[in-house]
Amino acid sequence: MYEIMTAEEAVKLIKDGDCICVNSFVGIESPVELHEAIYKRFKETGSPAHLTMVSSAGFGVWDENRNAEGYIRDGAVDRLICGHFGAMLSTKKLILEDRFEAYNLPLGCISHAIRAQAGGLPGALSKVGLDIFVDPRIEGPGINNISKDDRYVKLVNVDGEEFLYYKLPKMTIALIKGTAADRFGNISFDDMYMSGDALSICQAVRANGGKVIVQVDKLVRKPARPRNAIIPGCLVDAIVVIEPEPSESGYEALTGSFEIPSGQWDMWVEIIDRLSSTHRRNNVTADIIAKRATEELHEEDIVNIGIGIPENISRFAKAKGILNKITLTVESGGVGGFPASGPVFGAMIGAASVYDMANQFDLYDNGGLDICFMGALEVDRYGNVNSHRGPGAYAGIGGFANITAKTPTVVFCLTFDTKGLKVIERDDGSLKIVNEGDIAKFVDEVHSISFSGKRAMANGQRVLYITERCVFELTEKGLKLIEVYPGIDMEKDIIDRIPFPVLIDEALKKGNKK
């Protein structure tokens, strides 16, 4: 039977050595007050200590002095297992200083492993991750020098096929953020941007003899409609009521509390960007890439658009008249709306459906998307892409590996080089490279593999690399240059600047620059 508690009372249920699973998504829907109560208790008593933290998509709030950052920094946590660390500003720096163990697994694979544990299985099989960094034959999931535990990802053979086997520690504490609890303890998520892995986390923790702690905005007397009660009260141990601070009305667009036609998406994007201090800077380079990428969209496509340069695709899709004829999706479970970005990445404007995150990755892992558009830090001679690890910096793979693993058409949107690159578009539509960037993006070998060209070819996927000056396509023999934009000198601006040989389309050899 659940009890209503204060945050301070609830976190006393957490013991030294517990494995805490947090239901959040990058920077949204984290039970902030519960985390801060843990930190307060740790500062006062030194407990709970030696914690393991698990989260499919990470649990920061873009503030190194809030949420879990304090108790992680001060030594309460021995290890972290997350799909993404982007919103954990302090933590992701400490990881590279070897302050504690940290493991990065594909977001969807963690979600599926949580669901497996809820069902009494020790782990989950997946083909996602084969031939990329997480594969034990390549690097394994450990991020830093002290993360050597090989239990979390294993290569296995089932009926003659290779899989990766993802296994999580036995989870003993659930930290969940919901909207309301009724008098039976049932938890609804009506005003939340997503429900994530909430139900599976609670089922797993309960089966493991642990404690489920849920932070809600309010108590309601009338029971939720059964379909809206994501977590039944019988799974809940502690309910903590934290009345939220009043939020700007624009954020209501992300809760699905009213219908938003596709024609109003732009308006709400602007409102939410202003509220979250997100500034979408249009620039010639990104626009060139996004405009060309949009040509790959077709009516009725089911699509995932990544952050960064790909976000610009939506503007050109609207101008082309196709935006309301495709179905956009986001990793957290949203389908049929417009993905938000910045601090509220994971939320969706005007979603038609928001379901459990594991179900979204069922769709992704099994090729349910028609096309995806992703960013890239590096591309090498084999078509491999690094998107998760830069020099001295680490964000994590997130849902990238799942999204690109089986999608029939994968489009990478990236500049040819960076840091100083400047391109102008002449009045006749032709392009001129004014300044080249100091950092090459096409390299002989990527520093870490987020996407395997070899695996894509074996899967029969179509893979494009769209830049501000040209387009490459992946072939069995490597990259093939298939388009050069007007005004670009193929030899000087492309071939001479790539450190490895590329194939050249026959039409380009004849001087027909499409």
CA–CA gap between residue 360 and residue 381 (Å, rounded): 32
CATH (domain of 48): 3.40.1080.10
At 316, give phi and psi (nearest 5°). Answer: -75, -30
Q: Determine the residue type at 365.
A: D
**Whether pLDDT at 58 is above 50:** yes
> In this structure, is residue 247 part of a structural domain?
no
> What φ, ψ does residue 439 adopt, rounded to 5°?
-115, 120
pLDDT band at 247 (very low <50, low <70, confident <90, very high): low
Provide the 10 A C-beta neighbour count for residue 273: 17
Please check whether residues 315 and 211 belong to one and the same domain. Answer: no
pLDDT at 128: 98
Nearest one of 343, 372, 341, 354 to 269, comparing CA atoms: 341
| Whole-angstrom distance, CA of residue 87 vs CA of residue 32 | 13
CA-nearest of 189, 197, 122, 110 to 156 is: 122
* pLDDT at 281 > cutoff 60: no
Positions marked catalytic: 331
Would 256 be classed as within a structural domain?
A: no
Mean pLDDT of 47-74: 97
pLDDT digits (tens, 9 = 90+) for 408-437: 999 999 999 999 999 999 999 999 999 999
Domain range enclosing 221: 3-241
pLDDT of residue 277: 66
Whether residue 237 sits in one domain with residue 270: no
**Residue 216 resides in a domain:** yes
Q: What is the pTM of this model?
A: 0.96
pLDDT at 248 over 90: no
Q: Is residue 246 part of a domain?
A: no
Give the total number of structural domains in the chain: 2
- pLDDT tens across 13-40, in order? 999 999 999 999 999 999 999 999 999 9
Q: Do 196 and 146 fall into the same domain? A: yes
514 confidence band (pLDDT: 50, 70, 90): very low
Report yes or no on 248 lying in a domain.
no
Shared domain for 66 and 199, answered yes or no, is: yes
C-alpha dihedral sign at 298, 303, 307, 311? positive
In a domain, 251, yes or no: no
Same domain, 208 and 310: no
Tokens coding 202: 């609670």
DSSP state of 381: T
pLDDT digits (tens, 9 = 90+) for 187-238: 999 999 999 999 999 999 999 999 999 999 999 998 778 988 999 999 999 9
